[in-house]
Structure 1
Amino acid sequence: MADIALRFFKDMLVVASPVQAALRRQGIEDARDQALAVLLEPETIEDAYRLETAAGPQCLVAPVADFAPARLTALGMEDAAEKLARAAVAIPRSFKPQHLLVEIAPCGLPLDPSSKGSLVENRDQYARAASLFGPADFDAFFLNGFTTVDDLKCALMGLRKVSDAPVFASVDVTAGGMLASGRGTLASGRGTLAEAVAVMAEFGASVAGFATLSAPADAAALAATVRETLGTQGADLCIMATLAVRDRNDRRQGPTPENPYYVPDTMVAAAADLRAAGVQFLRAAGNATPAYTGVLAAAVAGQDVAVE
């Protein structure tokens, strides 16, 4: 598998949509059932990857993200952690992607930023999650779905404690650049995209990302915020943008603020706006289907990252 770091700041790359949405469409709803499917019904997971692979993304993402010990315990799968990690890598790798990302979700433990013990426990959750993958054949870790700065900081510190693999980090944000939780660090109390990006730069991320329900122009403005913050920090990180799809509706006549990506074709303009804003990695998530991935892949095919 190629080293993804060799492509940083070069060509535009598309990350496949989450297969969890495809599994939900098949009736495999909750996280435990999806994890069990990885172990017991891999052919079901393979069907989802087969469709995503045909759409043409350069990067696939492992099918589960609940690898922190607290998450595994909640799923009742703490004794199957290593087996689950191996299967989560093996299934997408069988499709021979150009690159494979191992996703790790927030650990879900309560976090008291004023308590050293709480910070250490949270940090070690992520270190133990990353340790499950050891020498596995993947390109980068993908810290995804984070909504607080302190949790993100613990995750980055935990990964860097045990691994020097590239790290993609992504936070969920509103159109105005606030984190979805509205919470920042103990010191600031704000919780902004700029604050999260500063943490990404300081604690060893390779790619600074955000996920948003916002319309293309607002998403491009968020990307500009990322670039500006990285410039202020003197940091050289790539940028990733994830666009969340709500409901797909072919009968709708146009986008709405609540659902700007109502059909796959809406990704064409979004891809152009985000590339112009300096984004390298693009992804459609939420209720996105492989068609969304395919439109993104076609929209940026053969294009290099836009640089000033």
Structure 2
Amino acid sequence: MADLALRFGKDMLAVSSPAEEALRRAGIESVRDQALALLVEPETIEEVYRMEAAAGPQCVVTPVAALTPARLVAIGAEGKGEALADAALAVMAEFKPQHVLVEIGPCGLPLDPESKASLVENRDQYARAAKLFEGRTFDAFFLNGFTAIADLKCALMGLRKVSDAPLIASVEVRADGLLTDGVGTWRESVEVMAEYGAAVAGFSTLATPGAARVLAEQARDALAFQGADLCLMATLQVFERDAKQQGPTEENPYYSPDTMMAAALELRAAGVQFLRAAGQATPAYTGVLAAAVAGLDVASEL
């Protein structure tokens, strides 16, 4: 497995779409059932990744993100964190990906930013999730799905407490630059990512390619102001696949895989290195992203 850090700021990289949508199409809908399938029916998960791997992403994301102690309890997997970590990496190894990203999602605990005890409790949730992968082979942690800056900060601090692996962090962002909690901003999130040791600053959005490009440009400005040198990641949310739709709309800009081609080039022009499709995305979306940026370097003249 190649060292992902050696590729930072160099060649464009496509990231596999989430396994959840494909599993839902197979009738495995809840996070609880997806985790159970990984443990007792791994061939189902392998089939999902077989299709995704054929699409050609350089980076493949592990299938279960509910790895903090609180989330393990919530999905009925208390005490099974190490087994899930082993199973997730075993599925990845089957397809010999270039890079494996270990996804960790929000812990879901109440968080009072004014309370030290609350902050420490949340931070330690993420530290304990990261420790599940101690001594195991992977390329980077992928903190994904965050909607609040305080929670993001706890996650970054928790991982840095126990691991020096590269960190990719991603927050959910609206087209207007606000996080989906309606409080924090994308720019503030980028500043936190830079301050607390992330190597890649990412956003996930339903915004159109043009609006997504503006978000990338805002991140570059924030990083330049701080004198930080982070790579950028963009995840484009597919709201609904609709072959009958006549063209992109603000409500549903990524209605078909073909829409990823122009979006990929738009985001590359804004300095984004990592590209991903999520939501209702299928392996076809990943395939278009991978094909769109195959052999291209990260844009250097911005």
Q: Structures share a fold, TM > 0.5?
A: yes
The CA deviation string for residues 209-256 of structure 1, in whole angstroms up to 9 with x for no partner, is: 000000000000000011111111111100000000011111111011
TM-aligned CA deviation for residue 307 of structure 1:
1.2
RMSD over equivalenced CA pairs, Å: 0.5
- Which of the residues 215, 237, 240 maps onto 1:244? 237
SS at match of 2:207: coil
State the match for 1:17 in structure 2: 17
- In 2, Cα distance between the equivalents of 1:268 and 1:75? 37
- In 2, Cα distance between the equivalents of 1:233 and 1:208? 14
State the match for 1:303 in structure 2: 296
TM-aligned CA deviation for residue 79 of structure 1:
1.7
State the match for 2:139 in structure 1: 139
State the match for 2:62 in structure 1: 62
- Look up the equivalent residue of 2:249 and give its one-letter code: T
TM-aligned CA deviation for residue 78 of structure 1:
1.2
- Look up the equivalent residue of 1:157 and give its one-letter code: M
- In 2, Cα distance between the equivalents of 1:79 and 1:303? 44
- Look up the equivalent residue of 1:80 and give its one-letter code: K
- Structure 1: stretches of 5+ with no match in the other structure: 184-190
Percentage identity across paired residues of the two chains: 70
- Which of the residues 271, 275, 297 maps onto 2:264? 271
SS at match of 2:169: strand
State the match for 1:256 in structure 2: 249
- Look up the equivalent residue of 2:96 and give its one-letter code: K
State the match for 2:36 in structure 1: 36
SS at match of 2:220: helix
Establish whether residue 218 from structure 1 lines up as the match of residue 237 from structure 2: no
TM-aligned CA deviation for residue 135 of structure 1:
1.1
TM-aligned CA deviation for residue 80 of structure 1:
1.1
TM-aligned CA deviation for residue 125 of structure 1:
0.2
SS at match of 1:211: strand
- Look up the equivalent residue of 2:212 and give its one-letter code: A
**TM-score normalised by L of structure 1:** 0.97
State the match for 1:96 in structure 2: 96
TM-aligned CA deviation for residue 198 of structure 1:
0.2
- Look up the equivalent residue of 2:87 and give its one-letter code: A
TM-aligned CA deviation for residue 284 of structure 1:
0.2
Aligned ranges 1:73-112 → 2 under 5 Å: 73-112=73-112
- Look up the equivalent residue of 1:269 and give its one-letter code: A
Runs of 4+, deviation exceeding 4 Å: none
Establish whether residue 203 from structure 1 lines up as the match of residue 181 from structure 2: no
- In 2, Cα distance between the equivalents of 1:83 and 1:297? 31
- In 1, Cα distance between the equivalents of 2:182 and 2:227? 26
SS at match of 2:80: helix
SS at match of 2:202: strand
Aligned ranges 1:43-54 → 2 under 5 Å: 43-54=43-54
- In 2, Cα distance between the equivalents of 1:239 and 1:114? 30
SS at match of 1:56: coil
State the match for 1:161 in structure 2: 161
- In 2, Cα distance between the equivalents of 1:41 and 1:65? 18
- In 2, Cα distance between the equivalents of 1:68 and 1:117? 17
- In 2, Cα distance between the equivalents of 1:182 and 1:289? 29
TM-aligned CA deviation for residue 10 of structure 1:
0.5
State the match for 1:179 in structure 2: 179
- In 2, Cα distance between the equivalents of 1:9 and 1:217? 22
The CA deviation string for residues 280-306 of structure 1, in whole angstroms up to 9 with x for no partner, is: 000000000000000000101110000
What is the count of residue pairs matched by the alignment?
A: 301
- In 2, Cα distance between the equivalents of 1:79 and 1:153? 26
